[in-house]
Amino acid sequence: MGCRSNGLSEYWAVGVMGCRNSGLSMYWAVGIMVVGLMGCNENIHAISLNGPHELSIFMISSSEQSGYANYSQFSISDENSKYMLRISGYSGSAGDAFNHNAAIQNGQKFTTKDQDNDNYYSGNCAVQFEGGWWFNACHNAFLNGDSGNNGRKWYPWADKVTYSVMMIRQTI
């Protein structure tokens, strides 16, 4: 979900098997422990099998505003189901970009350049926006992009996100 290292998150095998990135904005935190392999959908799926989890996202926009989005329920399915995103229970200051208007991403399958699972009939969102993600047609939330024009965003809160940390933890 947050893996972006020289375009590696653009391809299915990397999304499944994982990648490494030393940038702080590219790590999953589980509880208080930071996991070095992140963006690895198979690992995130395995973690979410251990019971209910919540997701917390902290972001800084290009205008240096900070915002957050918390979801009380978070999981992704297995590879056979294309790592479908299940997310609900929003609270926060940045808005619920995953469930905003026509480009709702909750319930979407993970899309990469070589696995087009989105609902964009004119092309592949991962090709257009240069990164793998749970695209619909195409997105309001996208935190796997580069820092260019097709970069990270959390609409309507910020068209450009310069920093993001995504954390999951098991709920009791």
- Cα dihedral 14, 115, 2, 40 sign: negative
Burial of 140 (0-12, 13-18, 19+ CB in 10 A): buried
Question: Which pLDDT score is estimated for 8?
Answer: 43
Across the 172 residues of the chain, what is the mean pLDDT of every consecutive 10-residue run?
42 43 37 39 75 89 92 90 92 91 84 90 89 85 73 83 85 80
Q: Report the pLDDT value the prediction gives residue 149, as an integer from 0 to 100.
A: 61
**pLDDT at position 128, please?**
87
pLDDT of residue 148: 63
Residue 91: predicted pLDDT: 96
Peptide bond into 40 cis (omega under 30): no
Structure tokens, 56? 């917390």
**Which amino acid would we find at residue 78?**
D
Domains of the chain: 53-170 (3.90.215.10)
What residue spans of the chain are helical by DSSP H?
12-17, 41-48, 125-129
Listed in sequence order, the residues at least 6 apart from 17 whose beta carbon sits closer than 8 Å to its beta carbon are: 40, 42
Residue 21: what pLDDT?
41
| Rounded Cα–Cα distance for residues 138 and 4 (Å) | 18
The CB-side HSE value for 60 (13 A sphere, CA atoms) comes to: 7
pLDDT at 30: 35
pLDDT of residue 20: 38
The CA distance from 12 to 78, in Å, is: 13
